[in-house]
Amino acid sequence: CSLCCRISRAITILLSCAILGINIVEPSNEELPLPSKPGMYQLDIVLKKGNNLAIRDRGGTSDPYVKFKIAGKEVFRSKTIHKNLNPVWDEKVSLLVESLREPLYVKVFDYDFGLQDDFMGSAYLYLESLEHQRTLDVTLDLKDPHYPNHDLGSLELAVTLIPKEGDFREATMLMRRSWKRSSKVITCVYGGVCVCVTLQHQSLRLSDVHRKAQLWRGIVSISLIEAHDLQPMDANGLSDPYVKFRMGHQKYKSKTIPKTLNPQWREQFDFHLYDEQGGFIDITIWDKDAGKKDDFMGRCQVDLSLLSKECTHRLDLPLEEVEGSLVLLVTLTASAAVSISDLSVNILDDLHERKEILHRYSLLRSFHNIKDVGMVQVKVIRAEGLMAADVTGKSDPFCVVELSNDRLQTHTVYKNLNPEWNKVFTFNAKDIHSVLEVTVYDEDRDRSADFLGKVAIPLLNIQNGERKAYALKSKELTGPTKGVIFLEIDVIYNIVKAGLRTLIPIEQKYIEEEPRVSKQLLLQNFNRVRRCIMFLINAGCYINSCFEWESPQRSICAFLLFVVVVWNFELYMFPLVLLMLLAWNYFLIASGKDTRQGDVVTVEDLLEDEEEDFDRDDKDSERKGFMNKLYAIQDVCISVQNALDEVASYGERIKNTLNWTVPFLSWLAIVALCAATLVVYFIPLRYIVLAWGVNKFTKKLRDPYSIDNNELLDFLSRVPSDIQVVCIPYNIHPYCWLPQDCNS
């Protein structure tokens, strides 16, 4: 019977090969590697408990959690068990494994909020030694590679290895969909029968293997509201509380509310949810102490698996072992569909799939699912000439692709400056104005990755299907760095949905670097504002020159144009003028007279000059003291200070006019406003503007020595600002504004 079963399985393979057009060949005399296992396995692991784990906290305990890694990639992370050296997890995970040669690497860490987690031991589980279709109880002794003689306790697991033999039909269907014309001789072992076949290249869709480690499953939106009845930590019977949140590797720290036991934060932030079953959010409250270590005030935890999605939950969480509670609003939102696959599994290369996608985003379906604007497919092919980040002169590069809040990454190519990834990333385009960011990092185990280069590509600038080499830039995208990356990008979207989405507020990125004080950035922003102001000043000077009759021809043309426009002005002419301006600029660009390049070159020169000045100042500052660094930005600070003072002063003067700080000026404003109301009521606005313009144009002709002025600004210059009110008290009562009244 056993022999009959094996023969029937072999016949099944031969028939399947005949259906798919696979050629059966005689095995050659050369020795072919005979795999001893099938090519796909399901590894079911139950993490039971730990025994006598290492002590890592001052209290003689630890807060252990476990990581599983295969081929250097993290595939599972357990929940954290607080203050326990014999934790019980009872967590189950199912993994798809392509090869049994890579062992399962198990690492245990002690969770330390706000600090680097402490290592508690590691062990290897060699998959080749496991029996198939049988659950085995495994005890792993934890060791530290640097101190192999130390006993760090053990972990108890239940492991089941299941070969995916029953999925042959599904695999052949995947082969048919991802067909490519390249022949290859392979050897199959199926049910104990060895068959050597030549088949056209198949590529199994193995993206699901990596999804748990790379894709966001959703967004956890958290609003930190308030806390009640916290424990006093200071001598005055109060505290200065702030809150720390942690979910996996994601962290958030709230602001500090001074001197209270019932703080109100009203802060909102977001975490990314990687696990479909949810996860745990660890929350700790601390008392801020200047000059010494902050005091611990309490802890609580949120189990996301108990919360329903697409719904806001108000949670009143009591603190563990101490008095007090914390109030949160938590919302779980599903993320957009994203995927990653090998280059051979490309949906846009399939004519049927491409036709379906084009139909989905056609004009006929413009009002079907308005939020589904389009899709973006990015082929990350390879990179060349990357920067060497390791002491060996090599790097371990991997690539991260980001579109708004969706983030995917490739595998790592070790010890290579010219890596080939050949991966396809698929995103939902929620906003056609988004910018695709592709960043290359160098992987450093147990440390944060090193930056190697970055490119940013607006979706509207992409030419579909064009394979292009992009030069990598610095992290701020202001200058080049070493290396290029080869990408092929396709963007398919509905133009009507994209236009409607433009009128909706832009989606904010959930993970951004915190802003830092930077002399270079301050100087850059100051120069940008100065360029805009100088443009307005130059435009004002040009208009004022028409009033001054510096060029009679220009002034006569301006006067005639002013009279014609004001006399014939209608409201529809305003958008018409803007339309004509856009059409004129389009005509210039189409005729090859693109004025934008001058602005781009100006900004590039500005950035280069600032970068050179910044580098030079940095080199000088290494030789100079701290005071010289302050003097280096003194001019910028003074200019910003004066500009802020002028803007604030005019705002305060308007306010002080209305609140009777100087009654004489307020009464004068009343008289002027009453006169203006009567004039505007009885005289059409067109005549008023015409009279004002004729007066401005003829003023120099009537009185060549007159000084140009602005009556409104001259009036406001007499009104004191708040600073002047403090220094010079204006305490006259509104009705006592005449001199004789004041004397009486």
CA distance 532 to 603: 12
**pLDDT tens-digit map of 166-175:** 443 333 333 3
pLDDT per residue as tens digits for the range 634-680:
666 777 778 788 888 888 889 888 888 888 888 889 999 999 899 98
For 57-75, what is each residue's pLDDT tens digit?
A: 877 888 899 988 887 778 8
Is residue 154's pLDDT more than 50? yes
**Which token pair is 549?**
């009759």
pLDDT confidence of residue 633? 62
Please check the confidence at residue 416 and state whether its pLDDT lies above 80.
Answer: yes
CB 259 within 8 A of CB 240: yes
Structure tokens at 528: 């940008």
pLDDT of residue 227: 93
Specify the CATH number for 218-333; select among 3.20.20.370, 1.10.540.10, 2.60.40.150, 3.60.15.10: 2.60.40.150
Residue that has been written with the tokens 């989905």 in this structure: 360
- Tell me the pLDDT tens digit for each residue of 510-547: 555 555 666 667 777 777 788 888 888 888 888 888 88
The arithmetic mean of pLDDT across residues 89-104, rounded, is 84
pLDDT for 212-258, tens place per residue? 334 556 678 788 989 999 989 888 889 999 999 998 878 888 999 99
- Section 615-629 average pLDDT: 52
- Fold for 41-177, please state it: Immunoglobulin-like (2.60.40)
Specify the 3-state DSSP secondary structure of 158: strand
Residue 625: the pLDDT is 52
Q: What is the third-level CATH fold of 343-502?
A: Immunoglobulin-like (2.60.40)
Measured CA to CA, the distance from residue 138 to residue 42 in angstroms comes to: 17
Q: What's 113-132 look like in SS3? A: CCCCCEEEEEEEECHHHCCE
Asked if the model's pLDDT at residue 12 lies above 80, the reply is: no
Longest dimension (CA), the chain: 126
Q: What is the Cα–Cα distance from 64 to 84, expressed in whole angstroms? A: 7
**Are the C-beta atoms of residues 265 and 256 closer than 8 Å to each other?**
no
Ranges in the chain annotated CATH 2.60.40.150: 41-177, 218-333, 343-502
Cα-to-chain-centroid distance, residue 596: 29
Contacts (Cβ under 8 Å, ≥6 apart) of 320 = 298, 299, 300
Rounded to whole angstroms, how far apart are CA atoms 658 and 714?
17
**Integer angstrom CA distances of residue 591 from 553, 580, 585:** 30, 16, 10
Q: What does each C-alpha distance from 216 to 202, 271, 305, 403, 498 come to in angstroms?
A: 28, 10, 16, 13, 24
Rg of the chain over all Cα atoms, to the nearest angstrom: 36
User: Do the strands 104-110 and 118-125 form a parallel or antiparallel pair, or are they unpaired?
Assistant: antiparallel
Nearest to 252 by CA among 114, 148, 368, 65: 114
- Alpha-carbon distance of 266 to 221, in angstroms, equals 13
Nearest C-alpha neighbor of 379 from the set 399, 393, 363:
399
Residue 529: helix, strand or coil by DSSP?
helix
Instruction: Give DSSP secondary structure letters for 269-333.
Output: EEEEE--TT--EEEEEEEE--TTSPPEEEEEEEEEGGGSPSSSEEEEEEEPTTSS-EEEEEEEEE
For residue 743, pLDDT beyond 70: no
Residue 107 is predicted with a pLDDT of 92
- DSSP label of 571: T
| Tens-digit pLDDT profile for residues 279-319 | 789 999 999 988 788 889 999 999 888 888 767 788 999 99
Structural contact between residues 426 and 336, judged by C-beta atoms closer than 8 angstroms: no
- Closest by alpha carbon to 373, among 211, 468, 506? 506
Out of 26-35, 394-403, 589-598, 624-633, least confident range: 26-35
* pTM reported for the whole predicted model: 0.50
